Amino acid sequence: MATARVHLIIHGRVQGVAFRYSAEDQANRIGIGGWVRNLHNGTVEIIAEGQRSELEELIKWCGHGPSLARVTDVEIEWLEPTNEFERFYSARTQ
Protein backbone atom coordinates (compact mmCIF):
# COMPACT_ATOMS: atom_id res chain seq x y z
CA MET A 1 0.00 0.00 0.00
CA ALA A 2 1.23 3.47 -0.86
CA THR A 3 2.14 6.07 1.72
CA ALA A 4 0.25 9.37 1.76
CA ARG A 5 1.00 12.75 3.37
CA VAL A 6 -1.45 15.26 4.77
CA HIS A 7 -1.09 18.82 6.06
CA LEU A 8 -3.74 19.89 8.57
CA ILE A 9 -4.58 23.21 10.21
CA ILE A 10 -7.02 22.84 13.09
CA HIS A 11 -9.05 25.89 14.15
CA GLY A 12 -11.04 26.61 17.29
CA ARG A 13 -10.16 26.27 20.96
CA VAL A 14 -7.22 23.97 20.31
CA GLN A 15 -4.40 25.47 22.36
CA GLY A 16 -4.18 25.08 26.12
CA VAL A 17 -6.44 22.00 26.04
CA ALA A 18 -3.77 19.28 25.50
CA PHE A 19 -4.57 19.03 21.78
CA ARG A 20 -0.92 18.58 20.72
CA TYR A 21 -0.18 15.86 23.24
CA SER A 22 -3.45 14.08 22.54
CA ALA A 23 -2.79 14.27 18.78
CA GLU A 24 0.69 12.83 19.34
CA ASP A 25 -0.78 9.95 21.37
CA GLN A 26 -3.49 9.34 18.76
CA ALA A 27 -1.03 9.34 15.84
CA ASN A 28 1.35 6.98 17.64
CA ARG A 29 -1.55 4.68 18.51
CA ILE A 30 -2.54 4.61 14.82
CA GLY A 31 1.09 4.14 13.77
CA ILE A 32 1.77 7.14 11.55
CA GLY A 33 4.75 9.50 11.42
CA GLY A 34 4.96 13.28 11.43
CA TRP A 35 4.63 16.17 13.83
CA VAL A 36 2.16 18.53 15.50
CA ARG A 37 2.77 22.10 16.69
CA ASN A 38 0.95 25.19 17.90
CA LEU A 39 0.98 28.23 15.64
CA HIS A 40 1.07 31.80 16.93
CA ASN A 41 -2.39 32.54 15.48
CA GLY A 42 -4.02 30.03 17.87
CA THR A 43 -4.34 27.13 15.45
CA VAL A 44 -2.61 23.74 15.52
CA GLU A 45 -0.66 22.42 12.52
CA ILE A 46 -0.04 18.76 11.70
CA ILE A 47 2.05 17.09 9.03
CA ALA A 48 1.49 13.33 8.96
CA GLU A 49 2.45 10.41 6.75
CA GLY A 50 1.12 6.88 6.65
CA GLN A 51 -1.49 4.78 4.91
CA ARG A 52 -4.35 6.96 3.65
CA SER A 53 -6.89 5.08 5.81
CA GLU A 54 -4.73 5.75 8.89
CA LEU A 55 -4.46 9.44 8.00
CA GLU A 56 -8.23 9.64 7.51
CA GLU A 57 -8.63 8.19 11.02
CA LEU A 58 -6.38 10.97 12.38
CA ILE A 59 -8.32 13.61 10.41
CA LYS A 60 -11.58 12.31 11.86
CA TRP A 61 -10.12 12.52 15.37
CA CYS A 62 -8.89 16.09 14.69
CA GLY A 63 -12.50 17.07 13.95
CA HIS A 64 -13.22 16.91 17.68
CA GLY A 65 -9.86 16.45 19.45
CA PRO A 66 -9.59 15.92 23.22
CA SER A 67 -12.55 16.58 25.49
CA LEU A 68 -11.70 20.23 26.32
CA ALA A 69 -11.09 21.24 22.69
CA ARG A 70 -13.74 22.92 20.55
CA VAL A 71 -12.75 22.39 16.91
CA THR A 72 -14.45 24.72 14.43
CA ASP A 73 -12.62 23.73 11.23
CA VAL A 74 -9.94 21.38 9.89
CA GLU A 75 -8.13 22.49 6.74
CA ILE A 76 -6.90 19.46 4.80
CA GLU A 77 -4.22 19.46 2.09
CA TRP A 78 -3.00 16.17 0.58
CA LEU A 79 0.68 16.23 -0.43
CA GLU A 80 3.28 13.91 -1.92
CA PRO A 81 4.92 11.81 0.81
CA THR A 82 8.60 12.28 1.63
CA ASN A 83 8.98 9.24 3.91
CA GLU A 84 11.10 11.33 6.28
CA PHE A 85 9.43 10.33 9.57
CA GLU A 86 10.23 7.42 11.85
CA ARG A 87 7.67 8.46 14.48
CA PHE A 88 5.14 11.17 15.35
CA TYR A 89 6.20 13.93 17.76
CA SER A 90 5.23 17.30 19.17
CA ALA A 91 7.35 20.02 17.55
CA ARG A 92 8.17 23.50 18.76
CA THR A 93 5.62 26.28 18.46
CA GLN A 94 5.95 28.21 15.20
> What are 9-60's pLDDT values in tens digits?
999 999 999 999 999 999 999 999 999 999 999 999 999 999 999 999 999 9
- Write the CB contacts of 34 (distance below 8 Å, at least 6 apart in sequence): 27, 46, 47, 48, 49, 50, 85, 88
Judged against a pLDDT cut of 90, whether residue 93 lies above it is answered with: no
The catalytically annotated residue of 5, 13, 20, 28 is: 20
The band of 92, judged by pLDDT with boundaries at 50, 70 and 90, is confident
Q: What pLDDT was estimated at residue 78?
A: 98
Q: Is 28 a catalytic residue?
A: no
What is the CATH number assigned to the segment(s) 18-90?
3.30.70.100
**Residue ranges covered by each domain of the chain:** 18-90
Q: Is 20 a catalytic residue?
A: yes
The catalytically annotated residue of 38, 41, 52, 92 is: 38
